[in-house]
């Protein structure tokens, strides 16, 4: 197989390609047109593009073929769609670009977008966000559901897109660049708590898959593997990918948030202005 064969989509999805083109297009347009003082540095731009391209690569290249026919590659695909890709995108903090783009939208369109804002705020409630984050992993890995999702092309696409969108929402909430001191962003303590809370059920699920003796996901047995590999090995590797990297990413996230919190320690005191006023 030539290099081109590895790069072209296994299952061509115009909607997916359009989605990625639009995201990169709008991001590039925003970068070029926005005032220089708000523009993210080249490091942040690189992190954003790498995050987006990783998600694209696992959906629209030969990688997708291996994800459909090997359980452990499928787990790797979801690790990128739900964790690593959105993690990088949120960490690169494209908020200034989005703010600029939003300022370019006409008031009529803004009004039309309002319901989206309500849905967004509802989904970003910490309880809902963490429930969805873990719930979706459990949902798509529930054996009968997983079986159907791997058999049906439509369900397969819904599964991958739902993982990507939910990943973006969750890591966006966690790495919200606004400080909780002077905005309504989620407090650092709560963010750390969420990261720890979502890690536990993922570790339990991963360990369950690793230590189960029978075949939990027989769809790969039923539908043939991309290359002959013992089913136990495939399942073991898949379980490890569900168990260890997500737990490590939670810890990495906690460290990043701790660093932010320590930087802000003592810098700003929310009531200082009021206190000063009342004591003078």
Q: List contacts with another protein (CB under 8 A).
A: 11, 65, 68-69, 122, 125, 127-128, 131, 135, 139, 142, 144-145, 147-148, 150-153, 155-156, 218, 221-228
Long-range (24+ apart) CB contacts under 8 A made by 81-84 are 81/55, 81/160, 81/163, 81/164, 81/167, 82/133, 82/136, 82/137, 82/163, 82/164, 82/166, 82/167, 83/167, 83/171, 83/245, 83/246, 83/249, 84/51, 84/54, 84/249
Whether the Cβ atoms of residue 98 and residue 26 lie closer than 8 Å to each other: no
CA dihedral 246, 251, 252, 257 (to 10 degrees): 130
Nearer to another protein, 102 or 122 (CB): 122
Nearer to another protein, 5 or 274 (CB): 5
CB of 263 to another protein, least distance (A): 28
Rounded to whole angstroms, how far apart are CA atoms 144 and 128?
A: 24
DSSP-derived letter for residue 113 is: H
Residue 178 φ then ψ, to 5°: -75, 145
Q: Residue 189: helix, strand or coil by DSSP?
A: helix
Nearer to another protein, 72 or 156 (CB): 156
Terminal Cα distance for the chain, rounded = 77
Nearer to another protein, 87 or 156 (CB): 156
Whether the Cβ atoms of residue 16 and residue 72 lie closer than 8 Å to each other: no
Task: Write down the residue that tokens 């970003």 correspond to.
Answer: 124
Nearer to another protein, 93 or 160 (CB): 160
Nearer to another protein, 24 or 193 (CB): 193
């Amino acid at each position: 197989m030539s290099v081109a064969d590895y790069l072209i989509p296994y299952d061509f999805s115009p909607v997916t390609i359009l989605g990625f083109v639009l995201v990169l297009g709008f991001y590039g347009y925003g970068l070029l047109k926005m005032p220089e003082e708000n523009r993210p540095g080249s490091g942040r731009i690189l992190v954003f593009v790498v995050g987006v391209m990783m998600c694209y690569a696992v959906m629209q290249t030969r990688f997708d073929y291996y994800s459909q026919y090997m359980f452990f590659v499928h787990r790797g695909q979801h690790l990128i769609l739900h964790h690593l890709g959105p993690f990088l995108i949120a960490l690169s903090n494209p908020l200034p670009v989005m703010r600029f783009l939003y300022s370019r939208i006409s008031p009529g369109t803004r009004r039309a977008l309002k319901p989206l804002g309500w849905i967004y705020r509802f989904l970003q409630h910490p309880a809902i966000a963490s429930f969805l984050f873990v719930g979706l992993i459990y949902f798509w890995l529930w054996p009968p559901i997983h079986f159907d999702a791997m058999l049906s092309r439509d369900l397969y696409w819904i599964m991958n897109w739902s993982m990507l969108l939910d990943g973006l929402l969750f890591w966006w909430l966690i790495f919200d660049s606004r400080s909780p001191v002077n905005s309504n962003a989620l407090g650092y303590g709560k963010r750390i708590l969420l990261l720890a809370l979502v890690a536990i059920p993922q570790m339990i699920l991963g360990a369950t898959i690793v230590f189960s003796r029978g075949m939990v996901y027989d769809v790969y047995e039923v539908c043939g593997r991309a290359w002959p590999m013992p089913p136990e090995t495939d399942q073991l590797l898949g379980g490890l990918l569900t168990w260890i990297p997500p737990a490590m990413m939670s810890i990495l996230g906690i460290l990043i948030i701790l660093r932010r919190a320590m930087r802000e320690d003592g810098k700003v005191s929310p009531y200082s202005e009021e206190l000063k006023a009342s004591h003078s």
